[in-house]
Chains A and B, each alone.
Chain A
Amino acid sequence: MISIKNLNFNYGKNKVFSNLDLNIECGKIYGLLGENGVGKTTLLKLISGLLPVKKGSCTVCEHIPYNREVQFLESICYVPEEISCPSISLIDYGRNRGEFYPAFNMDEYIGYLTQFELKSDMNFQKISYGQKKKAIIAFAFATNTKILLMDEPSNGLDIPSKSQLRKIISANASEERCIIISTHQVRDLENIIDPIIILDKDAVLLNASVEEISRKLSFRFSDRESADALHNEQSIGGYISVEENITGSDDNVNIEALFNATIKNRKRIQTIFNSK
């Protein structure tokens, strides 16, 4: 569905990607993680055609994103971290913009708005940042596009809304749809995102399903740090130790600990995941 090969990108002298390779398939909810400035938003912008590829290739459903052909734009929806809204009611926003998406469903849009406790006659300019974000997310899901890109969707949402967001994301996962979520708030979306992509400067450190991560790494809770662990994460009442799974244990993946373990042990993690 999305194929990135030898991708190079830079902002002036600031190199962001060099020879990046990544394949993204449909029917999954990808979690895109990475430290600040590694290029998560840039990657989403390259996929959505908002930025041109400098060298290498990026194809999305056989389209070159930067050409912004109508068929491509009809199949993709991008929810940026910071949003801009016109001065109209939420229902008019859906009416005006939904017409451009062949699979847009107005009833679904109104349904999502209701789930997020938003009234359709509310004016975009007169609601809070979190409410705007919820309305844009509601619209994005109602477009029913094949690809949905979301940059920090849980930022600015209150606790009940985060729960609603999880429900909506889970309900919208389908074999035909690919959802990519870039986030720092991993706990908000834990148990939803699968596979997990950890991006680093110049490389994809990890692109693996939760099942594969669980098979290759163990996440054990103990009252003291483990000397053999790739990473020990302090937690309430003890430590979560991330180790290479040699015993075949089946632990729940702690994404935060995984992320920190990966960042601290770049080469080791790549070796573990590249071995069969």
Chain B
Amino acid sequence: MSIEHRDDTGDRFGMWLFLYTEVILFSGLFILYAVSLSRFPGDFAQGSHQLNIYLGSINTIVLLTSSLTIALAVSAIQMNRIRQCLTLCGVTVVLALVFLVNKYFEWSAEISHGIYPGSQHLAEMGAGVSAFFNLYYFTAGLHGLHVLIGGSLIGVVAVLTARGKITSERYTLLENSALFWHLVDLVWIFLFPLYYLIL
């Protein structure tokens, strides 16, 4: 049953629809953020000041750079530069790992201070601070899960490229993975100011 269904535009179209569902998925958490912020502006600022802005900034730079490298990888495959494409994919995966390791240290520090969902310490700090950190953990956690999935996806795509399954003639899978990675980046671009900067 070898139905030849080649339809690159269709594949990209489907990916954009999927990205839209991801936006909606995160928007549920953003709605919760907006409502809680309007109820507890003071507590939210207090919670925000306890986050480590340096680790957050480093992670922002890391993710932005990784978005650049994956975009360059797509350009490289279009120009049939396989080695360059593989290197760029590799750099993207490494940057994804750097992000997660950074996140690990950031969260360990916070948890060691007794700040985690359901903790006694958090309960004592007041309802608004509690809400802030609960949302922070769930939103950043869901985003971290997406970093993990996106990084793995790019790893798989790199292997397929090395095996010659993805070529300059047929690179929609790489392109779609890159689109997913840009979304992961984009979500962070909203998370970072909302939780670390503006309050």
| Chains A and B bind each other | no
Binding site for B on A (CB under 8 A): none
**A-contacting residues of B (Cβ < 8 Å)?**
none
